[in-house]
Amino acid sequence: MATEMATAYAAFGAQVTVIARRGLLAGLLPINFLAEMTRIGTLVAFLIVSIGVRVLRRSAPDLPRGFKVPGYPVTPILSIAGCIWIISDERLDQRVANHVRVAG
């Protein structure tokens, strides 16, 4: 399945199978469910970035930085805590569905 999904359609240069599967899911699933999955996915992305900022600042302090994080180290810690708080407040079925979506 991974090779099929990675193959681009020659005429358009797009991954048609991925687009078709996502379109089919979007047409069959309720819009509220899709909105909740988008929200929790965005929160997980913010969480990963905040953790990455902390890790990179400690493991590679000499890397060139394109910008400075305002209020470092407080800002990433608050961001991590806020994301965990909001994610933990989600319903259990939403969290399980997000884990399934990320894993598969």
pLDDT, one tens digit per residue, over 48-69 is 999 999 999 899 988 888 888 8
Instruction: For Cα atoms 13, 14, 19, give the angle at the middle one, nearest 5 degrees.
Output: 170
Higher pLDDT, 3 or 14: 14
Number of domains making up the chain: 1
Is residue 95 in a domain?
A: yes
9 falls within a domain: no
Residue 45 within a domain: yes
The answer to whether position 55 is within a domain reads yes
Instruction: Tell me, yes or no, whether 58 lies in a domain.
Output: yes
Domain that holds residue 92: 30-103
3-state class of 37 per DSSP? helix
Residue written as token pair 């939403």: 94
DSSP string, 26-46: HHHS-HHHHHHHHHHHHHHHH
Q: Decide: pTM greater than 0.95.
A: no
In a domain, 6, yes or no: no
- Select the more confidently predicted residue: 61 or 22: 61
